[in-house]
A and B are shown apart, each in its own frame.
Chain A
Amino acid sequence: MTHELLRFATAGSVDDGKSTLVGRLLHDTKSVLADQLAAIERVSNERGMDAADLALLTDGLRAEREQGITIDVAYRYFSTANRSFILADTPGHVQYTRNMVTGASTTELALILIDVRHGVVEQTRRHAAIAALLGVRHIAVAVNKMDLVNYSKADFDAVRTDFIEIARPLGIEDVTVIPVSALVGDNIVDRSAQMPWYEGQTLLEYLEAVPVGLDPRELPFRLPVQYVTRPRTATHPDFRGFAGRIASGVVRVGDEVVISPVGRTTTVTGIDVLGTPTDVAFSPQSVTVLLADEIDIVRGDVISAAESAPQVTREINATVCVLGETPISAGQRVLARFGPKTVRAIVGSVTDRLDLNSLAHLPHTGALELNDVGTITLRLADEVAVDDYDVLRTTGAFILVDDQDGSTLAGGMTRC
């Protein structure tokens, strides 16, 4: 069996017990080593606690907050016999939209925490909305602090029903709700003896079983070209390969492909996976492909399945999330980066803004500020090959960059 890699993001505030849950997950999967544990035990003792406070395992973030610097996504790693995991730990309170957008962008699963005593709150709705916006396919809800409600099935069921109700209109396909106590360790790694009424998976069982990625065969082939390899050496005098990471789909030798934006078609004559020739490759492999015809292909061009080419356009509609201090407004000149392609762009218009309370897109033509999510149009100096983000995440995503100071202004999702 393949030892797969699952990337997931956590969402929830400190009050929900997120740090404790992350600490528990690391601790109970034996990912915390003796020197780390000794350090947090020492600090816990100094603070007068009996047992090690597992929340301290993530306290780099706490220090940041005390020092008044940007709270940020932290990445954590653990593995079991079956899988390796990358956890994007997104802090809850300050700038959570920016952080959660960043964390969720690379993940396919969001773990949302809810304090069973408070149930679904405004922030829960926002977390679910952002996960849906970023195309996160699976949501696991950990209903935490079950120990504080005497492991009440009725309390859990109420939260579960409420969450499924808000998730449905957001179009989230797969929701799993699990009753846990991060503090005690119920249903995180080990099954709880306190909740015999719960017959579902523990959190770790769920993380180990949820499907990783989409089957590449279900999506059209896209290869954004990063680099043109022309060794011009004695052994490879005429080699001209197009290197990149397959964004989606499968490619086979003999496939007919189209080069965007020029729109010319040709045939794949060879595929090289990091030094090994092969007949077939699929996402997310990094490859070098050889083509039958001499076509002028440069970094930023996209090689696609001929039967389902991406859109080639100089105008796009997009949902953006503003990530920097500089607002986004109509008429603004920016750089847009679609994977390896950078183009000059002008913001045509701002048309709406997501109201995080009602989760409705309300008409809005003014500037979008830090942490705002809204819809804009962009006029581009050159044609780009793009897909609808909800269909193809990698070729539908872009960032906006400030041409003058180089900062990242916004993350964007193309709507075709």
Chain B
Amino acid sequence: MTNISDYTLDHLDVLESEAVHIFREVVGEFDRPVLLFSGGKDSVVMLHLAVKAFAPSPVPFPVLHVDTGHNFPEVITYRDETVDRLGVRLVVAHVQDWIDDGRLRERSDGTRNPLQTVPLLESIVSNKFDAVFGGGRRDEEKARAKERVFSLRDEFGQWDPRRQRPELWDVYNGRHRPGEHVRVFPLSNWTEVDVWRYIEREDIALPQLYFSHERDVFARDGMWLTAGDWGGPTGNEQVVRKTVRYRTVGDMSCTGAVESTATSVSDVIVEVAASRLTERGATRADDRMSEAAMEDRKREGYF
């Protein structure tokens, strides 16, 4: 706990203050910021911080959700209730719209996660967003460990490591050319446990699937996936009823549940602290694919 009598700050207060400083810098420097809001815990924490940063004024920017059409229905409900309660404007980019008019094609494996990029970038361009808050954390994986708080993206939304700007002190450089935008990561220095401890401390409501519940699932690639119209189970995959929860929330086709009896935030903190697997390693098929791809590339160069 922060101790006023000896003028020391708890680490969560330091992280909170840093994130709020980042939000205020962006609103001071950019014309049209937007916050990526999926209803996932990191985006929920971001929005909570944005509310605190500008209180008693309302949050001075809208939120954007790229809806794959394979999102968990309870997360969509949570998303809509949250933006209503806070009076925040919600912009939704439906991947289905891009599929319907032929700009995107459905993949043979049924997953729509890779299809999110085009709707995201086109929404950024059509809404003229110049700063995009994302919930990425540097502890998530090795590539993100080198990501800046302010990360410049070119007209194609691409990240060019050679153009990364050195980031000194708390002086952020958000200069960008027309057509470019800046991704901003206020939670850069938070870990998964920090996020959960903050959710507990601030008593932040989350979608129920973060907590233990019974669900029809089937095993694929060593993960428990939710059975549904999006494309599973197939072949000889067996549906079973399990007591599970989700550690991350994404597209149903690639987000796995973990077996868990954690019904409260404090249960989750105990579970996360004791976990032997990283959050993404445990539950994200998309990252497993990219991790393997990354190692392949390394091998080609190295051996």
- Point out residues on A near B: beta carbons under 8 Å: 2-5, 33-36, 39, 43, 46, 59-61, 63-64, 66-67, 69-70, 72-77, 79, 83-84, 86, 98-99, 101-102, 105-106, 212-213, 215-217, 226-227, 229-231, 233, 235-236, 239, 243-245, 250, 272, 274-275, 280, 282, 284-286, 288, 299, 323, 335, 337-340, 393-394, 397-399, 401, 405-408, 411
Contact = CB atoms under 8 A, between A and B. Distances in A.
A406 B175 contact: yes
Interface stretch (B24-32, B67-75, B231-239): B24-32
Interface of B: 1-4, 6-18, 20-21, 24-25, 27-28, 52-58, 138-139, 142-143, 145-146, 152, 161-171, 173, 175-177, 188-189, 191, 193-194, 275-278, 281-282, 291, 295, 298, 301-303
A406 B56 contact: no
Contact of B189 (A36, A86, A338, A394): A86
Contact of B20 (A98, A286, A299, A397): A286
Contacts of A105: 168-169
A33 B282 CA distance: 11
A407 B167 CA distance: 11
Contact of A299 (B28, B53, B162): B28
Contacts of B12: 3
B9 A102 contact: no
A216 B166 contact: no
A316 to B, nearest CB: 15
A227 B28 CA distance: 6
Given A227-B28, A285-B13, A411-B168, 16 more contacts: A4-B11, A33-B278, A34-B276, A35-B282, A66-B302, A70-B162, A75-B188, A102-B168, A106-B168, A229-B54, A236-B57, A280-B4, A284-B18, A338-B171, A408-B167, A411-B169
Contacts of B165: 407-408
Contacts of A406: 152, 173, 175-177
Contact of A230 (B27, B57, B145, B176): B57
A-side interface mostly: mixed
B7 A217 contact: yes
A274 B20 contact: yes
Given A69-B161, A337-B171, A340-B28, A231 B56 contact: yes
18 contacts: A5-B14, A33-B277, A34-B277, A39-B291, A59-B142, A73-B146, A76-B145, A84-B11, A84-B191, A106-B169, A227-B24, A245-B24, A272-B55, A286-B17, A286-B21, A393-B169, A406-B152, A406-B175
Contact of A36 (B16, B163, B164, B278): B278
Nearest to B15: A5
A216 B56 contact: no
A354 B55 CA distance: 46
Contacts of A64: 146, 161
Contact of B28 (A3, A226, A272): A226
B58 to A, nearest CB: 7
A405 B291 CA distance: 34
A35 B11 contact: no
Contacts of A66: 298, 301-302
A33 B170 CA distance: 31
B281 A215 contact: no
Given A4-B9, A102-B166, A274-B52, A77 B301 contact: no
Contacts of B4: 280
Contacts of B27: 227
Contact of B170 (A250, A394, A405): A394
Contact of B8 (A63, A212, A272, A411): A212
A245 B53 contact: no
Contacts of A231: 56-58
B169 A275 contact: no
Contacts of B53: 243, 274, 286
B17 A2 contact: no
A311 B212 CA distance: 58
A275 B177 CA distance: 36
B166 A323 contact: yes
